[in-house]
Chains A and B, each alone.
Chain A
Amino acid sequence: MDILQLLVSGIANGCIYGLLALGFVLIYKASEAVNFAQGDMMMLGAFLGITFINASYADLPFLIGITLAALLLGLFGYLLDRFVLRAIFGQPQFAMVILTIALGFLMRFFAGVIWGHDPTSLETPFVAQVWMLGELMIPVVDALIILTTVALTTVLYFFFARTRLGVAMQASSQNQMAAYYMGIPVKRINAIVWALSGVVAAIAGVLFAAKGAVEPSVGLLFGIKAFAAAVIGGLGSLPGALLGGLLVGIVEPFAGRFLPEVGQIAPYLLMLVVLVLRPGGLFAQISQKKV
């Protein structure tokens, strides 16, 4: 029973990692860039959620608050791409890594200035509510997180596989110049996908804040872990991101329980093992170039 309980909390945590990893994968799928500030965008989303929902701020209902936070962060993502990231359009991937690392530093600083450095958490209507499944306790928050993640992954999967926009995004990441020639507005596509990843980050952030406290620097390590999750799944694969997130989320509490010495670094060890065995992740998206 104990183990099942650990498993439930591991899965719920893993879903948040998975949600955040989805943000990484989205941007990677559409522009082959990696957003090292994704964790910090999640942190911004969490604080926006707190601002809209908590009684000491705007005191809006939960659903309206999360929608507003998602819309606002989506807009932020769009503007970020339009006015900052577009300046290095077409530069090598590495430039984007450095740029987003710098953006992450700036986001952390401004969040600290606006919201302060004390840990804050979200007041939700279902705090401390639990469903009992036999002897197994399932917190409502955890159930909500799992449902949201599964729904979001499914929607995004079909978005990329079936819709015109999704296919255009995949095309523009595979060959930017060829996508141009085919009449795809690559720059606008990039802006749209950044907006989309902003929305996903906001949802992940609000759910994260419902489960624990946030402070401005929370995004750094959490983001790295989520990125590790995305890499375990194979960057560029949406189901892979979810699977990687779940693996990381599950490994963490179990390692903390049974091997407390390496509990902290277990996700990274897992990632290194996966990468050494399969350098492209579980659902590898890399192939050897034919000359």
Chain B
Amino acid sequence: MSNRFKSRYDDDINLFEGRWHLAQYALLIALLLAAPWLLGAYYLGELTAVLIWSLAGLGLMLISGHTGQVSLGHAAFMAIGAFTNLALMMRGWHFIPALLASAVTSGVLGAIISRPILRMSGIYLAIATLALSIIIEDLSIIAEPVTGGVAGLFAPPIDLFGMTIDRYSSPAAFYYLCLAVLVIVTLGYLNLLRSASGRSFLAVRDSEVSARALGVNVARAKTLSFALSCAMTGLAGALYAHLAQAVNYESFLVLISITLLLQVVIGGLGSVHGAFFGAIVVVLLPQSIAMLRDFLNNTAGISIAAYPGMDTALFALLILLMVIYEPRGLYGVWFKVRTWLQLFPLYRKGMFRRTRTYLKTERQR
């Protein structure tokens, strides 16, 4: 790897560091575009799920990873997005405006809710958002005219550019739809992060007091971040509704909120990559466990009795080890591997050693 000299200010904020960097992502996109030919229908469905959870993870990453406000209630905004989309489509709206409407509705509701909620910090914020998630669970039964009550709503097929897109009859088209939405949102996200607003989010995360001293309007930054985060999560919810084909009050339980946060943490808080890594783990882990179980049963003759909740427990164990040994998540692991490769013979053992830290009280802020 050669050294790159920065000769223009743009070099600092370009999305791609150089041709090689761009080529890597072009290759990734090419692979993703070729996926319908490389994978069977089942695995294509799983990949679509990965894309959708990545989108939801991106939403949470903005508020929790990049603005430092922990939210344990983002499933609530998935629910708002999903119900908005389906309710509008059932009233004859076209898919695209309904999708945009679900992003806007979740974003606006998020902005309204965020004003009182983001006055809290740390653990108070976590529990308040958790409560929000529980309340939405109940509201989605009570608000029957919109949400269809206990029975929920069923997703109509999507009519797009003269094609009828359906998760089962045309999985490839649905996959491309999700991919397109995800790529657009990701590019927007990266652009946001290098804009003044994005920088102010990072400043708020690192220290509210110093952000305020530097002239950042903290309340505005938090509200904007929360609204955008909710909008992204709402989009993910709308797509999820079409993936699951039906949503009701049970689709977006509190556990989904918690899993979403764990997903972001396992991927690596504060990195865009992390949202994707986390989604891959969350979606594919149950699969891998089932495959491993079958493999062990068939070959080694070891029988793991199928305990209920085994994959949740393994997921939890993974989180446990991750928090203890690699607080920066899978992104941290990937970063270390990449550094090792780039520096190849020169990597030193202590490069990423953590400094000793002491807990700072959050009762004074």
Closest B residue, CB atoms, query A179: B358
Segment 228-266 of A: residues with Cβ below 8 Å from B: 228, 231, 235-236, 261-262, 264-265
A106 → B minimal CB distance (Å): 5
Q: Is B116 an interface residue (CB 8 A)?
A: yes
Q: Cβ of B359: which chain A residues have Cβ within 8 Å of it?
A: 31-32, 90-93, 176
Contact with A along B291-335 (1 / 0, CB 8 A): 000000000000000011110110111011001100100000000
How many residues of chain B have a CB within 8 Å of chain A?
A: 49
Segment 15-71 of B: residues with Cβ below 8 Å from A: 70
Q: Cβ of A262: which chain B residues have Cβ within 8 Å of it?
A: 138, 142
B365 is contacted by which of A106, A109, A286 (Cβ under 8 Å)? A286
Cα distance A88–B126 when bound, in Å?
Answer: 20
The reply to whether A279 and B320 contact each other, CB–CB distance below 8 Å, is no
The reply to whether B316 and A106 contact each other, CB–CB distance below 8 Å, is yes
Q: Mostly helix, strand, loop or mixed at chain A's interface? A: helix
How many residues of chain A have a CB within 8 Å of chain B?
A: 60
The reply to whether A268 and B135 contact each other, CB–CB distance below 8 Å, is yes
B320 is contacted by which of A90, A102, A287 (Cβ under 8 Å)? A102
Q: Mostly helix, strand, loop or mixed at chain B's interface? A: helix
The reply to whether A289 and B209 contact each other, CB–CB distance below 8 Å, is yes
Q: Cβ of A90: which chain B residues have Cβ within 8 Å of it?
A: 356-359
The verdict on A112 contacting B131 (CB below 8 Å), with A99-B324, A174-B363 known, is no
The verdict on A264 contacting B138 (CB below 8 Å), with A99-B324, A291-B209 known, is yes
The reply to whether B363 and A236 contact each other, CB–CB distance below 8 Å, is yes
Q: Is A140 an interface residue (CB 8 A)?
A: no
The reply to whether A286 and B130 contact each other, CB–CB distance below 8 Å, is no
B362 is contacted by which of A93, A113, A288 (Cβ under 8 Å)? A93
Q: Is B347 an interface residue (CB 8 A)?
A: no
Closest A residue, CB atoms, query B255: A220
Q: Is A98 an interface residue (CB 8 A)?
A: yes
The reply to whether A288 and B323 contact each other, CB–CB distance below 8 Å, is no
Q: Cβ of B97: which chain A residues have Cβ within 8 Å of it?
A: none
Cα distance A227–B135 when bound, in Å?
Answer: 16
Contact with B along A272-291 (1 / 0, CB 8 A): 10011001110001111101
Q: Is B258 an interface residue (CB 8 A)?
A: yes
Cα distance A276–B324 when bound, in Å?
Answer: 34
The verdict on A32 contacting B362 (CB below 8 Å), with A101-B262, A280-B124 known, is yes
The reply to whether B320 and A84 contact each other, CB–CB distance below 8 Å, is yes
Residues of chain A touching chain B, judged by Cβ–Cβ distance below 8 Å, are: 31-32, 34, 84, 87-88, 90-95, 97-99, 101-106, 108-110, 112-113, 117, 173-177, 180, 220-221, 224, 227-228, 231, 235-236, 261-262, 264-265, 268-269, 271-272, 275-276, 279-281, 285-289, 291
**Interface contacts beyond A104-B316, A289-B365: sample of 15 additional A-B pairs, CB < 8 Å, sorted by A:** A34-B126, A88-B327, A92-B359, A98-B265, A99-B323, A101-B262, A105-B313, A106-B313, A174-B361, A176-B359, A224-B127, A224-B130, A231-B127, A264-B138, A281-B124
